[in-house]
Amino acid sequence: MCGIVGYIGKNEKKEVILNGLKELEYRGYDSAGMAIYDGVELRHFKAVGKLENLSSKMSDFTSAGAGVAIGHTRWATHGKPTEINAHPHLGEYSFVIHNGIIENYKELKTELEKAGVRFVSQTDTEVIVHLFEFYNKSASSPFEAYEKTISRLQGAYATLLITKAAPNVVFFAKNAAPMIIGQSGDEFYFASSDAPLIGLCDSAIYLDDGCYGFADTSGNLKIFDSDKKPFNKAPTALSKDKGYAQKGGYRFFMEKEIYEQSAVASECLMGRISGDEVCLDIDESVLESRDEVVLCACGTSYHAALTASYLLERLAKIRTKVEIASEFRYKSPFLNKNALFVVISQSGETADTLEALKIAKNAGLKSLAICNVDNSSIVRLADAVLLTRAGIEKGVASTKAFATQVLVLWLLALRLAKMRNTLSPSEFSSETEALRGIPAVLNFAPALQERIYRICKHYLHGHGFFFIGRDIFYPLALEGALKLKEISYLHAEGYPSGEMKHGPIALADSGLYTIALLPSTCLYDKAISNAQELAARDAFITAISPEPFELADDYIATSKHSHMMSEFFEMMVVLQLLALEISVRLGNDVDMPRNLAKSVTVE
């Protein structure tokens, strides 16, 4: 995810910006850049890859003297991670950096191109700087030109702009992407989160959506709200703890990532549903004439694959197989050349999945990677790629990566359904309507977490957990059990509800915790009967359902939904929070559980 830092003052600007960007490194990025006005010249530098590359490109450059500077780390969304696409973007005499997505950039670009403007990058951001220079030709001041520019933008943006037309000024604007401003004497600091400001300012102003304005080297700061009225929000004291700031105020990265799921789901769906159509950002020739899908992954990504197998068969009516990558590698798999081979990996570096992909490619299968990390080994090898756009995930226990994998796989199932003509128009539109609603489903109130924290004290003893569910709620049960195992070190299994009576029910007694997923949209009566069988053997039952279950020892109420995927995503959050809070109560390291690594590059 991109990061923004800006500075106005007399200190060595290059260092202030590099240090600030360093604090945002944890968010992940694939290129970086900065623009600096040092009182004499406006210079810019860009580099692909790590900040060290940018720093070494600038090693001979110093920027003493009062001036302004803006810097950016970019996580590619529109266009590849190249130097041209890295920020800042240049007009003729101005530079801009931006986080977010300008949704109407195509129409703005067309308009500007008709006026003779030449674009060099593939990004949406570049329109901002050209629009500014276009308006600046006729505006009474650069600020008026900036105000006009911002009024034309639709979508999400946190943006800073510097220009030779007003060399001592930083223009800023914010909508649906974070931007804060700190002041210390006559120095100003800008950033997309508070981590770069810690230690430099005691407090900062958190801009509201629609705010814009400017600050300058004479200590002036003017902020306006979306009605163009002065914005007078009082500064908020900044934490002194950088680690806390990186976690956005949450105790753990995993907790922050659970809360981020709504936002990353929006990002994941952006541009991929248009009206009732699903538009995948790939060359669709890989999908054509396929008569089978083989999904291959490990761990949580394997659970996303299992979930997708239900969606692909039900919606696209295509034969689907799911393979655990480490097993697939050595089983001499029978491979059908007309199958689409889909690998799923948040890191893109998992050795088993990468090797499985090589086997499928060597056998002549078309391949598709669903991955969170652009340029990773798996991404580079696959014929086509759908990025999940979850942003960097720090918690070893995967949460938002899983949510976005399932979303992308659902989109894939719908695209194949369209190509194979397996859904009626009304069935298709109820799917796209449900998909659009997922960011809202993932937006939960902290009261849910408090409730889960309270009931978790019941679960610290006993001899194990069974997570049970049917249909797509079976892979979700597997995922709930894996989350709990990973960070609590308690024994947990996921099982299909109907399978308990074939053996595992022998374990049922009052020390066995059963987490029963009882969605109202999917085999409710059947799932209830299975939970009753366990209750009759005195198992401790936690029901997760929109319907109260009279035999439950604990009950976590979910909302009523009309689509089973909405219930799936709401229950997913409950299971993630359950694992988190049990782990917290046990005093474990939530983000770095013992024996586990974020990227498993060994066999």
The one catalytic residue in 22, 57, 418, 598 is 598
Interface of this chain with ligand M6R, residues 558 to 597, rule: CB under 6 A = 596
Q: What does the H/E/C string look like for 301-364?
A: HHHHHHHHHHHHHHHHCCEEEEEEHHHHCCCCCCCCCCEEEEEEECCCCCHHHHHHHHHHHHCC
Q: What minimum distance in Å lies between the beta carbon of 583 and ligand M6R?
A: 12
Interface of this chain with ligand M6R, residues 34 to 73, rule: CB under 6 A = none
CB-nearer residue toward ligand M6R: 87 or 394: 394
CB-nearer residue toward ligand M6R: 31 or 347: 347
Question: Among 88, 98, 99, 97, which Cα is nearest to 43's?
Answer: 88
Q: What minimum distance in Å lies between the beta carbon of 101 and ligand M6R?
A: 25
Which window, 67-75, 133-141, 197-205, 392-400, contacts ligand M6R (CB under 6 A)?
Answer: 392-400
Interface of this chain with ligand M6R, residues 205 to 234, rule: CB under 6 A = none
Which residue's C-beta sits nearest to ligand M6R? 299
Strands (DSSP E) contained in 538-598 are: 540-545, 554-557
Long-range CB contacts for residues 54-57, cutoff 8 Å, separation at least 24: 54/18, 55/18
Counting contacts by CB under 6 A, is residue 397 touching ligand M6R?
yes
Counting contacts by CB under 6 A, is residue 600 touching ligand M6R?
yes
Which window, 156-164, 196-204, 246-254, 393-401, contacts ligand M6R (CB under 6 A)?
Answer: 393-401
- Looking up tokens 């799932």 gives 527
The one catalytic residue in 2, 201, 268, 522 is 2
234: helix, coil or strand?
coil
Counting contacts by CB under 6 A, is residue 396 touching ligand M6R?
yes
390: helix, coil or strand?
coil
Q: What minimum distance in Å lies between the beta carbon of 378 and ligand M6R?
A: 8
Token pair listed for 331: 């089983």
CB-nearer residue toward ligand M6R: 353 or 514: 353
Strand partners for 538: none
CB-nearer residue toward ligand M6R: 346 or 432: 346
Q: Which one of 298, 306, 407, 577 is in contact with ligand M6R (CB under 6 A)?
A: 298
Q: Which positions from 92 to 131 touch ligand M6R by CB under 6 A, shown as an x/- string? A: ----------------------------------------
Counting contacts by CB under 6 A, is residue 163 touching ligand M6R?
no
The C-alpha atoms of residue 188 and residue 181 are separated, in whole angstroms, by 7
CA angle 299, 302, 307 (to 5 degrees): 135
Q: What minimum distance in Å lies between the beta carbon of 467 and ligand M6R?
A: 14
Interface of this chain with ligand M6R, residues 315 to 374, rule: CB under 6 A = 345-347, 350, 353
Q: Is 589 left (phi over 0), alpha (psi -120 to 50) or beta?
A: beta
Question: Among 396, 392, 388, which Cα is nearest to 252's?
Answer: 396
CB-nearer residue toward ligand M6R: 318 or 401: 401
The C-alpha atoms of residue 175 and residue 225 are separated, in whole angstroms, by 11
Angle in degrees, 0-180, between the axes of helices 299-311 and 473-488, rounded to the nearest 10: 170
CA angle 453, 396, 489 (to 5 degrees): 55
Q: Which positions from 476 to 505 touch ligand M6R by CB under 6 A, shown as an x/- string? A: ----------x-------------------
Give all strands of the β-sheet with 89-90 in edge-to-edge order.
89-90, 94-99, 157-163, 166-175, 212-216, 221-224
User: Within 10 Å of residue 178's Cβ, how many Cβ atoms?
Assistant: 17
Please say if 137 is a catalytic residue. Answer: no
Which window, 71-79, 134-142, 251-259, 298-306, contacts ligand M6R (CB under 6 A)?
Answer: 298-306
CB-nearer residue toward ligand M6R: 102 or 357: 357
The C-alpha atoms of residue 377 and residue 153 are separated, in whole angstroms, by 36
CA angle 132, 123, 149 (to 5 degrees): 20
Cβ–Cβ under 8 Å, residues 114 and 132: no
Q: In the chain, count H helices and then E strands.
A: 18, 26
Q: What minimum distance in Å lies between the beta carbon of 273 and ligand M6R?
A: 24
Q: What minimum distance in Å lies between the beta carbon of 161 and ligand M6R?
A: 37
Q: What minimum distance in Å lies between the beta carbon of 600 and ligand M6R?
A: 5
- Looking up tokens 């003893």 gives 461
Q: What minimum distance in Å lies between the beta carbon of 372 and ligand M6R?
A: 8
Q: Which one of 301, 367, 377, 545 is in contact with ligand M6R (CB under 6 A)?
A: 301
580: helix, coil or strand?
helix
Which window, 136-144, 359-367, 394-402, 540-548, contacts ligand M6R (CB under 6 A)?
Answer: 394-402
The C-alpha atoms of residue 344 and residue 350 are separated, in whole angstroms, by 10
Long-range CB contacts for residues 205-208, cutoff 8 Å, separation at least 24: 205/180, 205/181, 205/233, 205/234, 205/235, 205/236, 206/178, 206/180, 206/233, 206/236, 207/172, 207/174, 207/179, 207/180, 207/181, 207/231, 207/233, 208/174, 208/233
CB-nearer residue toward ligand M6R: 159 or 347: 347
CB-nearer residue toward ligand M6R: 286 or 356: 356
Counting contacts by CB under 6 A, is residue 392 touching ligand M6R?
no
Backbone angles phi, psi at 578, to 5 degrees: -60, -45
Q: What minimum distance in Å lies between the beta carbon of 267 and ligand M6R?
A: 18
CB-nearer residue toward ligand M6R: 490 or 531: 490
- Total interface residues for ligand M6R by CB under 6 A: 15
CB-nearer residue toward ligand M6R: 207 or 305: 305
Q: What minimum distance in Å lies between the beta carbon of 487 and ligand M6R?
A: 9
For residue 83, the one-letter residue type is E
CB-nearer residue toward ligand M6R: 396 or 556: 396
Interface of this chain with ligand M6R, residues 520 to 559, rule: CB under 6 A = none
**Exposure pattern of 275-311 as b/e (b: 16+ CB <10 Å)?**
eeebebebeeebbeebebbbbbbbbbbbbbbbbbbbb
Q: What minimum distance in Å lies between the beta carbon of 480 and ligand M6R?
A: 11
Q: Which residues are tagged catalytic?
A: 2, 598
Q: Which residues bind ligand M6R (CB under 6 A)?
A: 298-301, 345-347, 350, 353, 396-398, 486, 596, 600
